[in-house]
Amino acid sequence: MRIKVLNPVGYFLGGLKNVCLTCSIVLAGMVGGCRQAPPRDEELQRGAVWMFSGVEGGYALLAGARQGLRDAGVNQAIYTCEWGRPFDIFTNLCDLRRNRAVAACVAEEICAYRRNYPTQSIDLIGYSGGGGIVLLVAETLPEDVHLHNVILVHPAVSPDYDLTPALRRLDGQMIHYYSDWDIFILGLGTSVFGTIDRKFTASAGQKGFDLEQAVSDPALRGKLLQCKWTPEQIASGHFGEHFGIGFYGWNKDYVAPHLLAP
C-alpha cells in the first residue's frame, strides 16, 4: 500500500498562492466597485442559495466560489450575504449579539422568499465565520420553513455547538468540510480570539464536530455528513489550509454537487 506524504515546501507554496489569489480578488472587488446584481425571476424559480463569507469580507471574496458553482451547473438564484462590518474582523467574530440580529434579518429574507416560492429549494453555504452565521440563521427560522441542504466549510464554531435546531429544519443534509491542517486560523486563532459562538477552542472547522455533544438527538445524526480534508483535494486547489476554501476549483468539485443533488 502506497502512503501519500505531503511535501511541506509544496504545501507552503500552494497555501501562499491561495493567499495571494484571495487578496487579489478582494482588492479587485474594492477597486472595481464589485456589487451583486439582483437575481432574475427564472433563477428564483429554480431555487435560492445564500452564501456567507468569513469575517474578513463578503461579495468580492467569494467571486471564485460563485463562478465555480455556476460553471458546475448551479442555476439557482445566488445571494451573497454581506453580514459583517467592513474591515472590522474582530467585531465580526466577537459580537454575538449583533450576529444574532443579522441572522434574524436574513431569516426574514428567507421567509419572504419561501412565501413567494413555496416549493423551491433553499440552500445555505457558510465559509469560516460565515458557517457560524449560517447556523444562527437556520436555528432562527420558523419550524415550518425548511431548508434543502446546509453546507459548512471550515466553520469557526466550537466542536460541541448544538446543531440540533438547525438539523430539524433540514429536508436534506448538513455537509461539514473540515481540515486538520487549518491550524493557524481555526486552531490557534479561535483558541486565542474565540469562535463565533464565543468559545475559546480550536474550531469544528479544524477538529470536526463532536457528534455526541453537537447532535443530542440520535435520530438526527444521520443528517450530518462530516468530510475531512484529504490530499486528493489539492488537485482542486485546496491545500488543507484556510484560504483554499473560497477558490473556484474546489467549490466547483466539492460544494456544487450538493446543490445539484435532488
Query: pLDDT tens, 56-103?
Result: 877 888 999 999 999 999 999 999 999 999 889 999 999 999 999 999
- Who has greater pLDDT, 206 or 10? 206
- Who has greater pLDDT, 4 or 36? 36
pLDDT digits (tens, 9 = 90+) for 156-167: 999 999 999 999
- Domains, the chain, ordered by start: 8-32+43-260 (3.40.50.1820)
The pLDDT value recorded for residue 59 is 85
13 band by pLDDT with thresholds 50, 70 and 90: very low
At residue 26, does pLDDT exceed 60? Answer: no
d(CA 125, CA 228): 17
Percentage with pLDDT > 70 across the chain: 87
pLDDT digits (tens, 9 = 90+) for 69-80: 999 999 999 999
Half-sphere exposure of 193 (CA within 13 A, CB side): 18
- Who has greater pLDDT, 35 or 220? 220
At residue 169, does pLDDT exceed 70? Answer: yes
Q: Provide the mean pLDDT of the chain.
A: 89
The pLDDT value recorded for residue 35 is 53
pLDDT digits (tens, 9 = 90+) for 32-48: 334 578 899 999 999 99
5 band by pLDDT with thresholds 50, 70 and 90: very low
Per-residue pLDDT, averaged over 205-229, amounts to 97
The pLDDT value recorded for residue 24 is 42
pLDDT digits (tens, 9 = 90+) for 106-154: 999 999 999 999 999 999 999 999 999 999 999 999 999 999 999 999 9
